[in-house]
Structure 1
């Protein structure tokens, strides 16, 4: 079972692939889409949960998403049809660097996908290339709430603390206009949902050849979380505008 399929299983009950509750997502979209008629792009959209919520709650928006996971895009198309918003959603099965839109976007999203671009700042560079003047970026990535142990760094990578993260964002030419720091409840709820969805899938399909590996994965991730990064990892979503417009 490949990584993409495991991810789809893991997010069965938590379609937003980040430690955020529904109210937090709604509030972040309110700040990222202040007019309600924006053209929106999601870099690394997966099943396009952010775009589907934006399109459903803001009938004037139009959206495009990019992802390399064909299965996730198929899921997004199916859900868009069911929600009656498919006519306002365009999905692209390609790498972000191969995407050349005819128009720039009012809002660019990328939440929990920075690893695919090589980190937070490269993700912002990718977003900048598609952002119209006066536009906004909604980006979500991890940071260290406290000094991490070596196990946490090995599992998640080497983030910075929150002040350093914001210093880097500002130095790259961005000004935060809104933000959300995931609460302990959101962080824990996300992990339990991930673990529970994978465990339930394995237990519901005991004869599937992948089930023992899925249960082993649950045990490994639970240990990494509780004994590794739970006390040090944080997640921040930032709504950003360019400090200075222009090339």
Structure 2
């Protein structure tokens, strides 16, 4: 199996990214799809696109978190819903508030890591932690799209969320860096909660992982272990 990663930027600023885990015969198709995504992103036309293809020797298969969509009328309601989910996981309110500050600032390529004291644990505060080497099974993607469980963005996000929760992260809070996409999510061991209007249009997005603590081995697994998420 092969990992294909795409990253696009303009004047050094991240525009879009994506990745696939595919068999050898699917490489060309996957590269073309990721290239089209880079060239036609709503955040702008890139001046730099990097596509990396490398062989992966070992892939783990894990079951996707349950997906639930929570409809909210506005950002205020959506953030109250998200905060309530995180509070139930033992995340202090002041730490949740700091997480919202981080995602609202935007500009990071990866995720920030916050412990329960509100301390940031990632070494590179600009890059963050990038969860890589992930994909979903064809059956899961088909179910999400055909059953109205979410969008193409949900397909990408459920892979990240399921992997990070599987590796022991307490919870994840995320909003998209796509200007028009206002649905975000909270992921915990109880499920993947899509929350509409978690940000306003044209606002930045970001991602935060909540942990008690984290070691280098877990970070290595988040960034490098290969997972396909299944039904």
Query: TM-score, structure 1 length as denominator?
Result: 0.22
Report the structure number with the largest CA radius of gyration.
1
Greater strand content: 2
TM-score, normalised on structure 2?
A: 0.23
